[in-house]
Amino acid sequence: MNMHDTEDMPPDVDYDEDEPSFSDPEDFVDDIDDEELLGDLLREKPQEADGIDSVIVVDNVPQVGPERLEKLKNVIHKIFSKFGKITNEFYPEGPDGSTKGYIFLEYGAPTQALDAVKNADGYKLDKQHTFRVNVFTDFDKYMNICDEWETPEKQPFKDFGNMRHWMEDPDCRDQYSVIYESGERTAIFNNDPKDPIVAEERARWTETYVRWSPKGTYLATFHQRGIALWGGEKFKQIQRFSHQGVSLIDFSPCERYVVTFSPLMDTKEDPQAIIIWDILTGQKKRGFHCESSAHWPIFKWSHDGKFFARMTQDTLSIYETPSMGLLDKKSLKISGIKDFSWSPGDNIIAFWVPEDKDIPARVTLMQLPSRQEIRVRNLFNVVDCKLHWQRQGDYLCVKVDRTPKGTQGVVTNFEIFRMREKQVPVDVVEMKGDPESKNAESIIAFAWEPNGSKFAVLHGESPRINASFYHVKNNGKIELIKMFDKQQANSIFWSPQGQFMVLAGLRSMNGALAFVDTSDCTMMNIAEHYMASDVEWDPTGRYVVTSVSWWSHKVDNAYWLWTFQGRLLQKNNKDRFCQLLWRPRPPTLLPLDAIKAIKKDLKKYSKIFEQKDRLSQSKASKELVDKRRSMMEDYRRYREAALLQHQEQKAARLELRGGVDTDELDSNIDDWEEETIEFFINEEIIPLGE
């Protein structure tokens, strides 16, 4: 059968053409407007402008071909859906079919887009791709920049003066901060052997205590709302960092960053417990949660400030500056990591891991940023380890407490890593205790000599505490130079320049002090600062301050100044003295050969200085003598006037005592009675005869 084409059907005769008309009458005026009728629908009417505020442009997206497009989209989705629901996406393609390298994403609300910009801008996808994220509307803004150049408003120059002013003191006096009156007053003094000279003194400068930055440029004070940094000649306020309830801070060694900690501020979304700030700009660089209650500082800085790291459960996270991002974008998984620390001289981290089933405990040295393990040392039957770096990073000492197989007791070894020698050889020093006792020698303190290769150990049990000095020699041997026994000491304080040190028995040991010259291990002086709670060397190693802090002992609060040889120079009593901190010095600007030249000519310089000292001494005594003379004159004058008045009152006195003159002890000698009183002096028994 053939299909017919559609053709107009003949009109149906029965169909009535007059269907009712549904249009409005011609003169009908609509009295209901659209807004009333379907207002709510109208509001949802898509508008051309809608959605632009919620659009972001992401740049530096990898350019991929169509086969990897799906994977790329998944990655992008994963990263960007954190900020909100992505309602639309557009991946422009180039003529060759691969993506152009920039994409458009649309969120449900403008706030989400802003969030994405804030958090994803700068996100490092991989080595070659760091996202740049902007809101779409910004492009408009930048396109419409006025052609007319408007000079930006001039920011007044904040002149803080010479930030290194204290270093220019002609007498090379170092400064130190003193907190006293239980925290009400803070003062900065210039250290002069005669008497401290006040540089600045303020009431309520800090609410708790103060800290100096590592190179001495800033003084940090603590307040409820955050910390403040002060510096320059007049200690003006350089910068303020708002961190409610801040309790601890730490500076990066380069003084570029400061880390603040507050137990108050943490929320799940916004890590605020630990914040890292850029000191010069005052900007908040990054915030972190505080996961565990570990020791402060939780973030440890590398010596050059390039990296900082922290340890959490089974993880070592290393971050780099200035991006504040994880090095290589990931943390290191180190199962069981117990402790780590940076070498003070190189970008090397030392960490240790305890025993795990049959894998022995080990100490690892890792080079950063390569993450190459330059040395691993296995240790057996380990109970605990402590890492002690020498100040220049020349040596690492790992104090190992072990329980040797088959014994019950704990023995202590020092594993000395020689960092400057090829392949980092390790030497072991065994701390043998009393051979009679089953207990191991308990180690009270350990400290490396700064600038040198000696270390000192305090070991034993009170009252038989011994101080041993060891020298790490170049020939592979570690020699015990000297041991002092029966010391009253619980702390070791080396001079920052090495060679000299103070053994102190602080707090419960009543402030016993021993000044030692370790070049020949002699005791230069033994002294005492009763109940001393702290010992602080000045940065040059010329002076030592011992102090009794009000925080640990409520009477006799004072700080005493000694020479490095143990000669007492000053006793400074301060009402409720709390804390003294020397201002650190920045590293010397002199090149090594200039230092050598000065050391060679030291005799010449010392002559000039000695003469200057003698002059100032005699000047001091002359000043003192003059002061005394004038005080005596004043006193004499007062006494003469008083005696004159006394004379005038003689008549009255005689009357009061019935005419008896009692002005002098022998005034009324005639009235004296002589009385003989016998006193029993001695008894001697003399036997008579046989």
Partner 1 sequence: MKPILLQGHERSITQIKYNREGDLLFTVAKDTVANVWYSVNGERLGTYNGHTGAVWCVDCDWDTKNVLTGSADNSCRLWDCETGKQLAMLNTSSAVRTCGFDFSGNIIMFSTDKQMGYQCYLNYFDLRDPQQIEDNQPYLTVPCAESKITSAVWGPLGEFVIAGHENGEINQFSAKSGEILKKVKEHSKQINDIQTSVDLTMVITASKDCSSKLFDSTTLDHIKTFKTERPVNSAAISPIMDHVVMGGGQEAMEVTTTSTRIGKFEARFFHAAYEEEFGRVKGHFGPINCVAFHPDGKSYSSGGEDGYTRIHYFDPQYFDFELEA
The three-class DSSP label of residue 490 is coil
- In the complex, the smallest distance separating the C-beta of residue 556 from partner 1, rounded to whole angstroms, is 6
Q: Judged by CB under 8 A, which stretch of 318-326, 488-496, 536-544, 549-557 contacts partner 1?
A: 549-557
What single DSSP character describes residue 124? Answer: B
Please give the structure tokens belonging to residue 642: 């008083």
| x/- track of binding to partner 1 for residues 569-598 (CB under 8 A) | ----x-------------------------
Q: Which of 195, 618, 663, 667 binds partner 1 (CB under 8 A)?
A: 663
Burial 242-252 (b: 16+ CB within 10 A, else e): ebeebeebbbb
- In the complex, the smallest distance separating the C-beta of residue 357 from partner 1, rounded to whole angstroms, is 50
Strand-pair category, 500-505 with 491-494: antiparallel
Q: Which of 635, 640, 661, 667 binds partner 1 (CB under 8 A)?
A: 635
Q: For residue 79, what are the contacts with CB-CB under 8 A and spacing of at least 6?
A: 120, 123, 125
- In the complex, the smallest distance separating the C-beta of residue 482 from partner 1, rounded to whole angstroms, is 30
Residue 619 within binding range of partner 1, rule CB under 8 A: no
- For residue 343, what are the β-bridge partners? none
Q: Which of 77, 100, 432, 628 binds partner 1 (CB under 8 A)?
A: 628
Residue 37 within binding range of partner 1, rule CB under 8 A: no
One-letter identity of residue 320: E
Residue 42 within binding range of partner 1, rule CB under 8 A: no
Q: Which residue has the tokens 């993450």?
A: 371
Please tell me the distance from the alpha carbon of residue 218 to that of residue 215, in angstroms, as a whole number.
8
Please tell me the distance from the alpha carbon of residue 238 to that of residue 54, in angstroms, as a whole number.
39
Q: Which is nearer to partner 1, 35 or 634 (CB)?
A: 634
- In the complex, the smallest distance separating the C-beta of residue 681 from partner 1, rounded to whole angstroms, is 9
Q: Which of 88, 323, 439, 662 binds partner 1 (CB under 8 A)?
A: 662
- 308 and 300 Cβ atoms separated by less than 8 Å: yes
Distances from the Cα of 587 to the Cαs of 215, 216, 288, 390, in angstroms? Answer: 7, 10, 31, 17
Q: Which of 90, 530, 605, 609 binds partner 1 (CB under 8 A)?
A: 530
Residue 629 within binding range of partner 1, rule CB under 8 A: yes
Q: Judged by CB under 8 A, which stretch of 291-299, 399-407, 605-613, 673-681 contacts partner 1?
A: 673-681
One-letter identity of residue 501: M
Q: Which is nearer to partner 1, 432 or 646 (CB)?
A: 646
Q: For residue 344, what are the contacts with CB-CB under 8 A and spacing of at least 6?
A: 303, 389, 390, 391, 392, 393
Question: Residue 191: which region, alpha, beta or left (left: phi > 0; alpha: psi -120 to 50)?
Answer: beta
Q: By C-alpha distance, which of 375, 351, 358, 484 is closest to 425?
A: 375
What is the enclosing helix (H) or strand (E) of 114?
helix 110-120
| x/- track of binding to partner 1 for residues 231-270 (CB under 8 A) | ----------------------------------------
Site size toward partner 1 (CB under 8 A) is 36
**Burial of residue 421, with CB atoms counted within 10 A of its CB: 0-12 exposed, 13-18 middle, 19 or more buried:** exposed
Q: Judged by CB under 8 A, which stretch of 262-270, 290-298, 371-379, 676-684 contacts partner 1?
A: 676-684
Residue 632 within binding range of partner 1, rule CB under 8 A: yes
- 595 and 588 Cβ atoms separated by less than 8 Å: yes
- 458 and 467 Cβ atoms separated by less than 8 Å: yes
Please give the structure tokens belonging to residue 636: 């004499």
Query: Between residue 492 and residue 521, which ones bind partner 1 under the rule CB under 8 A?
Result: 510
Residue 557 within binding range of partner 1, rule CB under 8 A: yes
Cα of 254 vs its chain's centroid, Å = 12
Residue 302 within binding range of partner 1, rule CB under 8 A: no
- In the complex, the smallest distance separating the C-beta of residue 512 from partner 1, rounded to whole angstroms, is 12
Q: Which is nearer to partner 1, 22 or 680 (CB)?
A: 680
Q: Which is nearer to partner 1, 157 or 679 (CB)?
A: 679
Q: Judged by CB under 8 A, which stretch of 138-146, 287-295, 454-462, 661-669 contacts partner 1?
A: 661-669
Residue 22 within binding range of partner 1, rule CB under 8 A: no
- In the complex, the smallest distance separating the C-beta of residue 502 from partner 1, rounded to whole angstroms, is 22
Q: Which is nearer to partner 1, 435 or 658 (CB)?
A: 658
Measured between alpha carbons, how far apart are the two ends of the chain, in Å? 181
Q: Which is nearer to partner 1, 598 or 624 (CB)?
A: 624
Residue 554 within binding range of partner 1, rule CB under 8 A: yes
The three-class DSSP label of residue 328 is helix
DSSP 61-75: -----HHHHHHHHHH
Q: Which is nearer to partner 1, 284 or 553 (CB)?
A: 553
Q: Which of 420, 617, 656, 667 binds partner 1 (CB under 8 A)?
A: 656
Q: Which of 173, 300, 553, 585 binds partner 1 (CB under 8 A)?
A: 553
Q: Judged by CB under 8 A, which stretch of 16-24, 43-51, 488-496, 662-670 contacts partner 1?
A: 662-670
Q: Which is nearer to partner 1, 612 or 636 (CB)?
A: 636
Q: Which is nearer to partner 1, 16 or 674 (CB)?
A: 674
Q: Judged by CB under 8 A, which stretch of 62-70, 249-257, 340-348, 619-627 contacts partner 1?
A: 619-627
Q: For residue 587, what are the contacts with CB-CB under 8 A and spacing of at least 6?
A: 215
Mapping DSSP onto H, E and C, the string for 448-462 reads ECCCCCEEEEEEEEC
- In the complex, the smallest distance separating the C-beta of residue 466 from partner 1, rounded to whole angstroms, is 23
Q: Which is nearer to partner 1, 304 or 556 (CB)?
A: 556
* Strand order through the sheet with 411-418: 382-389, 395-402, 411-418, 426-431
Q: Which of 88, 335, 646, 667 binds partner 1 (CB under 8 A)?
A: 646
Q: Judged by CB under 8 A, which stretch of 156-164, 349-357, 453-461, 553-561 contacts partner 1?
A: 553-561
238, HSE (Cβ side, Cα atoms, 13 Å): 22
Please tell me the distance from the alpha carbon of residue 594 to that of residue 610, in angstroms, as a whole number.
22
Q: Judged by CB under 8 A, which stretch of 71-79, 121-129, 373-381, 660-668 contacts partner 1?
A: 660-668
Distances from the Cα of 105 to the Cαs of 98, 117, 198, 201, 262, in angstroms? Answer: 18, 11, 62, 58, 37
What is the enclosing helix (H) or strand (E) of 260?
strand 257-261
Q: Which is nearer to partner 1, 432 or 636 (CB)?
A: 636
Cα of 208 vs its chain's centroid, Å = 15
- In the complex, the smallest distance separating the C-beta of residue 639 from partner 1, rounded to whole angstroms, is 8
Question: CA torsion, points 612, 615, 618, 619, in degrees to nearest 10?
Answer: -100
What single DSSP character describes residue 93? Answer: B
Please tell me the distance from the alpha carbon of residue 416 to that of residue 436, in angstroms, as a whole number.
27
Residue 607 within binding range of partner 1, rule CB under 8 A: no
Residue 625 within binding range of partner 1, rule CB under 8 A: yes
Residue 621 within binding range of partner 1, rule CB under 8 A: yes
- In the complex, the smallest distance separating the C-beta of residue 203 from partner 1, rounded to whole angstroms, is 17
Q: Which is nearer to partner 1, 18 or 648 (CB)?
A: 648
Binding site for partner 1 (CB under 8 A): 510, 530-531, 553-558, 573, 621, 624-625, 628-629, 631-632, 634-636, 638, 642-643, 645-646, 649, 652-653, 656-657, 662-663, 665, 677, 679-680
